[in-house]
Structure 1
Amino acid sequence: MKTKAAILWDVNKEWSVEEIELDPPGPGEVLVKLAASGMCHSDEHLVTGDLPFALPIIGGHEGAGVVQEVGAGVSWLEPGDHVVFGFIPSCGRCESCSTGHQNLCDLGAILGLGRQVDGTARHHAADGTDLGLMCMLGTFAHHTVVNEASCIKIDKDAPLDRACLLGCGVVTGWGSSVYAAEVSPGDVVAVVGIGGIGANAIQGARLAGAKQIWAIDPIEFKREKAMEFGATHTAASLEEALPLIQEASWGKMANKVIMTMGVGDGSVLASALALTAKRGRVVVTNIHPAAEMTANVSLLDVTLMEKQVVGSLFGSANPRADIPKLLELYGKAQIDLDGLVTKTYTLDQVNEGYQDMRDGKNIRGVLIYD
């Protein structure tokens, strides 16, 4: 079948919206008509080359839609089912999945190749060139074929233009607070960088019972939005936050510091640790450039104050359990998905949407296909 998709042909180029040829789903695969896709900063990392995935590639990894066709061997999905894609597939059989760490599924090892699990492509450009898929998904398209391991079935009443955000940003941010940071009632929490992930780290910290939630971002609009999601205090920079948190915490500092900047920067890690209390924890959620191999950090501070630095992928969550759970919390007005969507775009406006992200205008832009 023919459909439309946004393709990145080379680094530092714009997305090219083109008609493509899409093959039927193979064994263990599913054809999905997408309703919406979030515009995550991770796709910008493809453009800048910070994530060196194979090109050409169809972007997008935060999507939701309706199943149109299933391949051989797919027994638990059928046409008409509504699904959210998890940007890390979860096979349910590997050691990580079977021990409750679906975010570290062994299938994640092939994400950078951008192909189906069997190594072949279902997506082809008009000239016949095989196209890769961001995170084996390619949600910047009207239709896509994905492996069943990437699909999480959801209730048909859930709005797909909100559910799509659970494929990455919401779970990643919320889980960074609840699971990776292990925020506890009464904690002081600092979230550094207020975009689609940082806003949800704030929501997670609020639900976990933090008494102070500091939103740190240079853009005033984002600091103001952070207050809507549950932040109690704001600062424009790590340097500005240091004396403020010191005073507000009576010198104890932040129990948890969660790094959710658009682009990670190893040179600021020492400043993040300076905000951190004794036995406190810094959670590194934001993506750093693949070529960055150094970080500015006082290891003496780490040792003498027993501070921790931990990484977190997909919020250290289990998407098959957590995506339905968070949709239930949204239905009960305990988390806000509506406020995350700053502006919607058509697929043809994908470059406009990413320019708005670069300009700091969006918490999350969403591509709407219907």
Structure 2
Amino acid sequence: MKAKAAVMYKAHEPLVIEEIEIDKPGRREVLIRTAFAGVCHSDLHFIEGLYPHPCPCVLGHESAGVVEEVGEDVTYVKKGDHVITCLSTFCGECEYCLTGRMSLCQSPTTKRDPKAAQRLSLKGGPLMQFINLSSYADHMLVHEHSLVKVRPDMPLDRAALIGCGVMTGVGAVFHTAKVRPGDTVAVVGLGGIGLAAVNGAAIAGAGRIIAIDMVGSKLNLAKEFGATDVVDASAGDPVAQVKEMTGGGVQYSFECVGLKKTAEDCFKMLARGGTATIIGMIPVGTKIELHGPEFLGEKKIQGSAMGSNRFRVDMPRLVDFYLRGDLKLDRLISGRLSLGQINDAFAQLKTGAVARNVIAF
């Protein structure tokens, strides 16, 4: 079938709207009519060449839609089901899956054989699928383990945000760091992921949640998501400000930017025994420098892959959190744009002034 998609031909160049071909669903594959796709900073990393990816390709990975067709042996979903996609495609058979760490699965069994016809093509030639999804297109063809069905009363624009940013931020708080009621938390960077981490810390019952950014509007927004305190990083050293506010540092910090300095700052602002969780995508080749003696205080630094999710369990629960008013997704959406405006959406993202734009199909 034919579909409209935003194609990346080369890093550092605008995406181009093209008509592409999508193959019929094969065994265990599902065809989805895309409803909304979030414009995530992770995609921008690939556009800017900070992470390499074969081209041409269709980016996009934070999405929700409606099932249109299923392939052989698919029993989990049927035509008409509402679904959220997730880049944490799991095989269900490898060591990571069998030990409950499905977000780390990288099994090739959920992809098509490289020698066979691929899911996407462009003008008769190969078109690379981005992390099993490619959601900057009006249709997606994915493995059934790349999606989760959700209740039909969940608005699909909000549901799309759960597919990456919200799951990543909230999951890092719940699963990776395991924040407990009463703990002190700092969140550095208040884009979609950072605001979700603030919201997750509030749901987890953190006693103090310090939101840190350089944009005043985002600091104000963080208060609506549950921040008890805000720090303007442009007005002085955020590490010094956090340590003064807390009398020595926080128990948990979350880096949601993807920079060397903010990762190092997250470690520096910890109290003894604290844990820094790096959520942001730090560019390839970047080295993080930490002061060795700090480890004698039992401080820890760790990464988080998509919030250490078990998305088929987690995402329906996040939908329930939203529908009962705990998850603040309405304020997370900065704007709704058409596919033809996708380069404008990335330009807005680069300004740092928006939380999350979504592409509406």
TM over 0.5: yes
Residues 116, 122 of structure 1: 8 Å contact kept: no
Match of 1:320 in 2: 312
Deviation of residue 84 (structure 1)? 0.6
The whole-number CA distance in structure 1 between the counterparts of 2:342 and 2:352 is: 16
The whole-number CA distance in structure 2 between the counterparts of 1:58 and 1:141 is: 8
The whole-number CA distance in structure 2 between the counterparts of 1:167 and 1:118 is: 26
Root-mean-square deviation (CA), in Å?
A: 1.6
| Structure 2 alignment gaps of length 5 or more | none
The worse-fitting range, judged by mean Cα deviation, of 5-14 and 206-215 is: 206-215
Residues 8, 55 of structure 2: 8 Å contact kept: yes
Matched, 1:212 2:190: no
Residues 8, 57 of structure 2: 8 Å contact kept: yes
Q: Deviations over 1:251-294 (max 9, x none)?
A: 23110010001xx22244432222101010000111011222x2
Q: Deviations over 1:133-186 (max 9, x none)?
A: 221101001011111110111112211111111111001000111221221122
The worse-fitting range, judged by mean Cα deviation, of 266-275 and 227-236 is: 266-275
1:290 to 267, 284, 287: 284
Match of 1:254 in 2: 250
| Structure 1 alignment gaps of length 5 or more | none
The whole-number CA distance in structure 2 between the counterparts of 1:170 and 1:270 is: 24
Deviation of residue 355 (structure 1)? 0.7
Residues 270, 298 of structure 1: 8 Å contact kept: no
1:346 to 338, 343, 351: 338
The whole-number CA distance in structure 2 between the counterparts of 1:318 and 1:168 is: 12
Residues 213, 233 of structure 2: 8 Å contact kept: yes
TM-score, with structure 2 as normaliser: 0.95
1:168 to 159, 164, 167: 164
Deviation of residue 90 (structure 1)? 1.9
Residues 117, 147 of structure 1: 8 Å contact kept: no
Match of 1:89 in 2: 89
Any idea what SS the aligned residue of 1:191 has? strand
The worse-fitting range, judged by mean Cα deviation, of 228-237 and 57-66 is: 228-237
Residues 255, 263 of structure 2: 8 Å contact kept: no
Deviation of residue 313 (structure 1)? 0.4
1:280 to 274, 287, 292: 274
Q: How does 1:23-62 map to 2 (within 5 A)?
A: 23-62=23-62
TM-score, with structure 1 as normaliser: 0.93
Deviation of residue 244 (structure 1)? 2.8
Matched, 1:128 2:120: no
The whole-number CA distance in structure 2 between the counterparts of 1:173 and 1:260 is: 8
Residues 214, 233 of structure 1: 8 Å contact kept: yes
Deviation of residue 24 (structure 1)? 0.8
Residues 172, 197 of structure 2: 8 Å contact kept: yes
Match of 1:117 in 2: 112
Deviation of residue 60 (structure 1)? 0.4
AA of the residue aligned to 2:4: K
Structure 1 runs of 4+ with >3 Å offset: 267-270
The whole-number CA distance in structure 1 between the counterparts of 2:49 and 2:89 is: 23
Percentage identity across aligned positions?
A: 37
AA of the residue aligned to 2:20: I
The whole-number CA distance in structure 1 between the counterparts of 2:304 and 2:170 is: 11
Match of 1:300 in 2: 293
Q: 1:84 to 1:269 in 2, by over 3 A?
A: closer
Q: How does 1:53-72 map to 2 (within 5 A)?
A: 53-72=53-72
The whole-number CA distance in structure 2 between the counterparts of 1:320 and 1:276 is: 33
2:242 to 242, 245, 267: 245
The whole-number CA distance in structure 2 between the counterparts of 1:56 and 1:27 is: 25
